[in-house]
């Protein structure tokens, strides 16, 4: 008992399958009572089991679940049948809702009036039903969740489509059963000319089970049904060529077909629905607004708008300045006005993610089939409907055939009576009462007629003449309809049947005219043809199916319409990136491992030699060591001193002001033991035929396919092998056909084609790129393109721009040529960048100062020179630590306007601080390529090719 009480819903199928009728009586079963007042002991567990099972089946079969044949629950069936009984048809006057509800609860539905009225109201709501079954007049609620007016105020009548659900119900097409008090009979199912269960769907919660069937398009459903009739062996996928998916009354958009396929094939599936939206621009062009014209099925519009407003007030949803509901009789229109700086697609994605503008419809195709609840797939549902229509059409045909045969019998009798009209009239006049007249007609051809005292004086008929007239009539009928078998009553025999005799007695005298005789003959021929047609339907399976198909086509032509719900391809699962506006960010990393991002718009372009802006408030022992500019949607891939690569998105880096310190990198990426950040790779995507080019402090270079880094584990992957004491100083993305330029701290540089470095596996160590003098090290590298310039910057804030043509191509592994003079004034080289006239660069110092300047303001001078001042340093301890090129923009930066998001990789050049040169342990993975190879070309001596002397204004060094 305890188990039953704790989990009756869970055990319902077990209880339903538990048949106790064939079991021997329980020892505790009570004996039959001897008298009405005797107390009967009952086992409470047995009683609860029996009572709960009865209740469950009553709810499942009698209230909550629709019948698979007509798609209606009992309450809806009773409402429509009561309206039909009242003559409340689509072409008649409206009747008060209270009148209909009263009939339903008084005759058929032993429940409350409110439940009946609510059920009837839903049949009249255009946002609830795809095809309305009740035509309502008055307030029937709204999509905002407003309640309908009381039943005493509203009026209803049937829609024409509902009449097609009840068509032929008076022709013995369906079974009837007693109502709740056995005083009347009600239909157990409606004839239903169309698959209403699929067309209008259904939802309900029973005991231990639920149903949720989506509505569909009438045209598609009937087309699919016709296809199944013609091709009984077709599959669900075949039917989906016709029935593409649910079609909701509120329209909207279904994203993806996977859930539809699963629902149609298994009876259960999840369908994702999105509101239909458009983005409009204001007349001034400075603002945008998101317009929603359709919302998902069963979403309350008023609550939806309240939810959006609540999210805006709580600042969980940003970028919205106003919300308006401009819906009217013309349709729905929800207006979301955006702020000037808001990005419409980002706001829209947030709305989909945080509100019911995107919902899922959990399809459960559960219905009553053969008196039992069953989960059915699409084909099974249509099969059950077709079987139902076969039964209905067969029963209707038998009924019509029986009526046609009976009527033909009467018409034949009337035609014979007209041939014997004189005798018939005389016989009737001679009769004492109708019963005697009826007897006389039933014996009009018998000699016993003339033995009756009242009929003895009647004139005898000429049988031969009358028979000849009848044969003439039969011959004429056969000429028009060869299937006519002749009259049922010839002139031999007793006379008319009782039915014929009664009909003759009731015949008006006007039927004796010649015109009426011809009409009777035409009716006889029509009846003969109808009988032949009806007999063919009963005898021929194909004829029966053709009748079903014809009626389905008529319904499709009368009620079919276009889809309201659009079905699109699957939308990728929304990620955090879809909810974040794409902006260009300046990302800085400090020597001690702090990282932050700030909008590029915070850094105004300044003249060459300016003081710059404070970029970060750092501790005395910390300074900015790396800087790059990238989109919030770009990948940021830190590479450690051990050659391991990790991955995160730029938007995952905490945004902070220019002066803040940022967040420790170890809180964003879990470096392995002994690992420290060496370099950062930035990319938007991972296209084919692109390579990652690595350069180490000791001049080792390596090239690896970019696609090898697309899938990065949270624990990181090996990017390259690094020797003890070496360190990664530069990483860039190339197309495999460019030249590479390396720069050293002492001012040397080498240019060689990247094709001299073959593509290697991730764990390979690489090959020699440049031969270094003692104490020298590589500090930067970049890709070189034709007609570009090379910007070189030194630690004391000086730099120069030199045309790339002055850097002649050499063989990989050489000593290179002089790039810039590293005098006491200049200090060591920090890095180099390939730049164009329209570019802008950023320079950062170890004191946290940053300056943004235009490349065109930097003088173009020779290679072997000292350069000009780029940034004014505070004191001798302040040094330039890094330089970075900003992404190109079509807009002017005079006023600090936003820059377009970066595409691809933003190359960076950083200086390694003296404190960051500790030896790193070699990578622990086995190399995929050979150990670093020595250069095949002997290192040439450094070239002293001339150039314009450097200075504040170019002077001789």
Q: What is the residue extent of each domain of the chain?
A: 65-192, 276-356, 387-547, 582-889+903-916
Choose the weakest-confidence range: 266-280, 453-467, 615-629, 696-710.
Answer: 615-629
Q: What is the pLDDT of residue 13?
A: 46
Q: What is the pLDDT of residue 609?
A: 53
Q: What is the mean pLDDT of residues 470-494?
A: 71
Q: What are the tokens at 939?
A: 């290192």
Domain 387-547: assigned CATH number: 1.10.268.10
Q: Of 94, 117, 131, 153, which one is the catalytic site residue?
A: 153
Please say if the pLDDT value at position 943 is more than 60. no
More confident residue, 719 or 384: 384
- Which pLDDT band, with edges at 50, 70 and 90, does 263 fall under? very high
Q: What is the pLDDT of residue 655?
A: 77
Please say if the pLDDT value at position 915 is more than 70. no
Please say if the pLDDT value at position 903 is more than 70. no
Q: What are the tokens at 957?
A: 């060094």
CA distance 560 to 225: 14
pLDDT tens-digit readout, 755-769? 999 989 888 889 999
Q: Which helix (DSSP H) or strand (DSSP E) does residue 883 occupy?
A: strand 880-885
- Which pLDDT band, with edges at 50, 70 and 90, does 163 fall under? very high
**What is the per-residue burial (b if ≥16 Cβ within 10 Å, else e) of 875-906?**
eeebbbbbbbbbbebeeebeeeeebebbebbb
357 secondary structure, DSSP code: T
Please say if the pLDDT value at position 365 is more than 90. yes
Give the chain's end-to-end CA distance (angstroms, integer): 103
Q: What is the pLDDT of residue 107?
A: 95
Q: What is the pLDDT of residue 646?
A: 86
Q: What is the pLDDT of residue 291?
A: 95
DSSP one-letter string for 589-617? EETTSEEEEEEGGGS-EE-TT---EE---
Interhelix angle for 498-506 vs 378-419, to 10°? 70
Q: Which helix (DSSP H) or strand (DSSP E) does residue 378 occupy?
A: helix 378-419
- Which pLDDT band, with edges at 50, 70 and 90, does 391 fall under? very high
Choose the weakest-confidence range: 92-96, 265-269, 681-685.
Answer: 681-685
CA 502-508-511 angle, to 5 degrees, is: 105
Supply the pTM of this predicted model: 0.66
Choose the weakest-confidence range: 24-38, 44-58, 239-253, 697-711.
Answer: 24-38
CA distance 253 to 348: 15
Task: Indicate the SS3 state at residue 443.
Answer: coil
Q: Give Cβ neighbours of residue 539 (< 8 Å, ≥ 6 apart).
A: none
Q: What is the pLDDT of residue 481?
A: 82
More confident residue, 222 or 956: 222
Asked if residue 936 lies in contact with residue 852, where contact means CB atoms within 8 angstroms, the answer is: no
Q: How far is CA 207 from CA 50, 52, 67, 210, 825, in A?
A: 15, 10, 16, 8, 88
β-sheet with 155-158: strand ranges across: 95-96, 155-158, 134-137
More confident residue, 819 or 212: 212
Q: What is the mean pLDDT of residues 197-224?
A: 94
Please say if the pLDDT value at position 636 is more than 60. yes
Task: Out of 362-376, 407-421, 440-454, give the one with best mean pLDDT.
Answer: 362-376
Q: What is the mean pLDDT of residues 563-584?
A: 73
**What is the per-residue burial (b if ≥16 Cβ within 10 Å, else e) of 575-594?**
eeebbbbbbbbbbbbbbbbb
Please say if the pLDDT value at position 469 is more than 80. no
CA 668-672-675 angle, to 5 degrees, is: 95
Q: What is the pLDDT of residue 177?
A: 95
CA 782-786-787 angle, to 5 degrees, is: 105
Q: What is the pLDDT of residue 514?
A: 67
Domain 582-889+903-916: assigned CATH number: 2.120.10.90
Active site residue 807: no
When the pLDDT of each residue in the chain is averaged and rounded to a whole number, the result is: 82
β-sheet with 767-768: strand ranges across: 728-734, 691-696, 700-705, 767-768
More confident residue, 215 or 342: 215
- Which pLDDT band, with edges at 50, 70 and 90, does 736 fall under? confident
Share of the chain above pLDDT 90, in %: 45
Strands in 261-357 per DSSP E: 268-274, 276-281, 288-294, 320-325, 334-338
Q: What is the pLDDT of residue 610?
A: 52
Q: What is the pLDDT of residue 542?
A: 96
Q: What is the pLDDT of residue 55?
A: 84
Q: What are the tokens at 343?
A: 């990005």
- Which pLDDT band, with edges at 50, 70 and 90, does 355 fall under? very high
The CB density around residue 940, as the number of other CB atoms within 10 Å, is 13
Task: Indicate the SS3 state at residue 67.
Answer: strand
Task: Indicate the SS3 state at residue 843.
Answer: strand
Q: What is the pLDDT of residue 591?
A: 66
Topology of 276-356 in CATH?
Gyrase A; domain 2 (3.30.1360)
**Radius of gyration, alpha carbons of the chain:** 46
Q: What is the pLDDT of residue 681?
A: 82
CA distance 543 to 127: 39
Task: Please report where in the chains the tokens 């003439």 appear, as a residue.
Answer: 472
CA distance 645 to 672: 11
Choose the weakest-confidence range: 15-19, 629-633, 695-699.
Answer: 15-19
pLDDT tens-digit readout, 6-17? 344 444 444 444
CA distance 941 to 820: 16
Task: Indicate the SS3 state at residue 384.
Answer: helix
The arrangement of secondary structure in 65-192, i.e. its CATH architecture, is Alpha-Beta Complex (3.90)
pLDDT tens-digit readout, 806-842? 999 999 999 899 888 888 898 999 999 999 988 888 8
pLDDT tens-digit readout, 742-796? 999 999 999 999 999 998 988 888 999 999 999 899 999 999 988 889 999 999 9
Residue 544: name the closest of 648, 408, 405, 394 by CA: 394
Q: How many helices (H) and strands (E) does the chain have?
A: 21, 44
């Amino acid at each position: 008992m305890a188990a039953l009480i704790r989990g009756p819903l869970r055990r319902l199928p077990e209880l339903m399958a538990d048949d106790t009728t064939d079991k021997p009586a329980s020892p505790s079963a009570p004996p039959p009572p001897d008298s009405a007042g005797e107390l009967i002991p009952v086992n409470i567990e047995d009683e609860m089991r029996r009572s709960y099972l009865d209740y469950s089946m009553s709810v499942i079969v009698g209230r909550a679940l629709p019948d698979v044949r007509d798609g209606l629950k009992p309450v809806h069936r009773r409402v429509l049948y009561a309206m039909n009984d009242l003559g409340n048809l689509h072409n008649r006057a409206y009747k008060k809702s209270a009148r209909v509800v009263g009939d339903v609860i008084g005759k058929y539905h032993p429940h409350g009036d409110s439940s009946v009225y609510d059920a009837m109201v839903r049949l009249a709501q255009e946002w609830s039903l795809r095809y309305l079954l009740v035509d309502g007049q008055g307030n029937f609620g709204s999509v905002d969740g407003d309640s309908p007016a009381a039943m005493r105020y509203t009026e209803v009548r049937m829609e024409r489509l509902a009449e097609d659900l009840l068509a032929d119900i008076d022709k013995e097409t369906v079974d009837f059963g007693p109502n709740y008090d056995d005083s009347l009979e009600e239909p157990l199912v409606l004839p239903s000319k169309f698959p209403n269960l699929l067309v209008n769907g259904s939802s309900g919660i029973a005991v231990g089970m639920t149903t949720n069937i989506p509505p569909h398009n009438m045209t598609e459903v009937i087309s699919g049904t016709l296809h199944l009739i013609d091709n009984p062996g077709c599959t669900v996928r075949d039917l989906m060529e016709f029935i593409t998916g649910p079609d909701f009354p509120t329209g909207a958009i279904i994203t993806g077909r996977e859930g539809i396929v699963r629902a149609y094939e298994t009876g259960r599936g999840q369908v994702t629905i999105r509101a239909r939206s458009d983005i409009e621009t204001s007349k001034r062009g400075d603002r945008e607004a998101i317009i929603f014209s359709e919302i998902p099925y069963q979403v309350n519009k008023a609550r939806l708008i309240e939810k959006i407003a609540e999210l805006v007030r709580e600042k969980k949803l940003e970028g919205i300045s106003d919300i308006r509901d401009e819906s009217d009789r013309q349709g729905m229109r929800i207006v979301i006005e955006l702020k000037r700086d808001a990005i419409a697609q980002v706001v829209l994605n947030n709305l989909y993610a945080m509100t019911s503008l995107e919902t899922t419809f959990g399809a459960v195709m559960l219905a009553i089939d053969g008196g039992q609840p069953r989960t059915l797939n699409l084909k099974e549902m249509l099969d059950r409907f077709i079987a139902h229509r076969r039964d209905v059409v067969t029963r209707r045909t038998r009924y019509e055939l029986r009526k046609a045969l009976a009527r033909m019998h009467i018409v034949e009798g009337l035609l014979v009576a007209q041939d014997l009209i004189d005798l018939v009239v005389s016989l009737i006049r001679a009769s004492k009462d109708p019963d005697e007249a009826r007897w006389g007609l039933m014996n009009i051809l018998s000699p016993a007629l003339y033995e009756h005292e009242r009929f003895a004086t009647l004139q005898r008929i000429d049988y031969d003449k009358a028979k000849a007239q009848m044969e003439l009539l039969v011959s004429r009928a056969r000429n028009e309809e060869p299937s006519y078998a002749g009259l049922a009553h010839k002139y031999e025999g007793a006379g008319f049947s009782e039915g014929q005799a009664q009909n003759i007695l009731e015949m008006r005298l006007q039927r004796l005219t010649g015109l009426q005789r011809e009409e009777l003959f035409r009716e006889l021929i029509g009846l003969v043809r109808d009988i032949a047609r009806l007999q063919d339907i009963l005898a021929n399976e194909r004829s029966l199916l053709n009748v079903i198909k014809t009626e389905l086509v008529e319904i499709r032509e009368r009620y079919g319409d276009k889809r309201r719900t659009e079905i699109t391809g699957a939308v990728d699962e929304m990620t955090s990136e879809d909810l974040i506006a794409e902006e260009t960010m300046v990302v800085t990393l400090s020597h001690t491992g702090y990282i932050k991002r700030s909008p590029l718009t915070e850094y105004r372009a300044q003249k060459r030699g300016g003081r710059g802006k404070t970029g970060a408030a750092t501790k005395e022992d910390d300074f900015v060591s790396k800087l790059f500019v990238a989109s919030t949607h770009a990948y940021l891939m830190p590479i450690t001193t051990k050659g391991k690569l990790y991955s995160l998105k730029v938007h995952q880096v905490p945004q902070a002001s220019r002066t803040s310190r940022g967040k420790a990198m170890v809180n964003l990426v879990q470096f392995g033991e002994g690992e420290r950040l060496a370099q950062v790779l930035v990319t938007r995507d991972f296209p084919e035929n692109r390579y990652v080019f690595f350069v180490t402090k000791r001049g080792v270079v390596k090239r690896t396919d970019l696609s090898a880094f697309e899938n990065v584990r949270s624990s990181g992957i090996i990017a390259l092998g690094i020797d003890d004491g070496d360190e990664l100083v530069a990483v860039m993305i190339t197309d495999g056909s460019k030249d590479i330029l390396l720069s050293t701290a002492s001012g040397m540089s080498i240019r060689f084609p990247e094709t001299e470095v073959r593509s290697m596996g991730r764990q390979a160590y690489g090959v020699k790129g440049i031969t270094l003098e003692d104490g020298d090290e590589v500090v930067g590298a970049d890709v070189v393109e034709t007609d570009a310039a090379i910007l070189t910057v030194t630690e004391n804030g000086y730099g120069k721009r030199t045309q790339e043509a002055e850097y002649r191509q050499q063989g990989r592994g050489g000593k290179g040529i002089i790039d810039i003079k590293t005098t006491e004034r200049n200090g060591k080289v920090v890095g180099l960048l390939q730049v164009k006239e329209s570019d802008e660069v950023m320079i950062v110092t170890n004191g946290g100062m940053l300056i943004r300047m235009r490349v065109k303001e930097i003088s173009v001078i020779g290679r072997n020179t000292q350069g000009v001042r780029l940034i004014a340093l505070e004191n001798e301890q302040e040094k330039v630590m890094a330089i970075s090129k900003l992404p190109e923009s079509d807009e002017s930066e005079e006023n600090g306007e936003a820059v377009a998001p970066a595409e691809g990789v933003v190359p960076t050049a950083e200086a390694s601080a003296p404190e960051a040169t500790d030896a790193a342990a070699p990578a622990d993975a086995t190399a995929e390529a050979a150990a670093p190879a020595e250069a095949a070309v002997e290192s040439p001596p450094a070239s002293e090719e001339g150039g314009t002397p450097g200075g504040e204004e170019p002077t001789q060094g």
